[in-house]
Amino acid sequence: AQKVTQAQTEISVVEKEDVTLDCVYETRDTTYYLFWYKQPPSGELVFLIRRNSFDEQNEISGRYSWNFQKSTSSFNFTITASQVVDSAVYFCALISNAGNMLTFGGGTRLMVKP
């Protein structure tokens, strides 16, 4: 069975603060893929990143960075110098080679105030 936990249901920060969204996952499979999606107030789901279980290298894309640690089964997402446009619900998700379903965490609502 697969499970994704996003313990932070809601985070509020002031613009320009850094913020980290936590994601902890459970799977028995050794080959799996982790994802982050963004759901802005307009409602669509936007793909941000995909990571496979054999690649623990951290990734940076502009103000976004991701920290994958197999030892703690975590795939955390950091936004540096947050902006109001970052306000959204962010979802972490997992799929494994053995399973065939993308399992989502409950989402973290990020509010960035000016």
Partner 1 sequence: DTAVSQTPKYLVTQMGNDKSIKCEQNLGHDTMYWYKQDSKKFLKIMFSYNNKELIINETVPNRFSPKSPDKAHLNLHINSLELGDSAVYFCASSQDTGATTDTQYFGPGTRLTVL
Instruction: Out of 7, 18, 28, 45, name the contact with partner 1 by CB under 8 A.
Output: 45
Q: Which residues contact 112 (CB under 8 A, 6 or more apart)?
A: 13, 14, 15, 17, 19, 82, 83, 84, 85, 86, 87
| Residue (15 or 109) nearer to partner 1, CB | 109
Considering CB under 8 A, how many residues would be counted as binding partner 1?
A: 23
Binding segment for partner 1 (CB under 8 A), chosen from 20-28, 45-53, 61-69, 74-82, is 45-53
Least Å distance, CB 16 to partner 1, is: 26
Q: Which residues of 33-49 are buried (b: 16+ CB within 10 A; e: fewer)?
A: ebbbbbeeeeeeeeeeb
Least Å distance, CB 89 to partner 1, is: 6
What is the Cα Rg of the chain in Å? 14
| Residue (25 or 32) nearer to partner 1, CB | 32
* Interface pattern 69-108 for partner 1 (x via CB under 8 A): --------------------x-x---xxx--xxx-x-xx-
Closest by CA to 25, choosing from 78, 88, 91, 87, is: 91
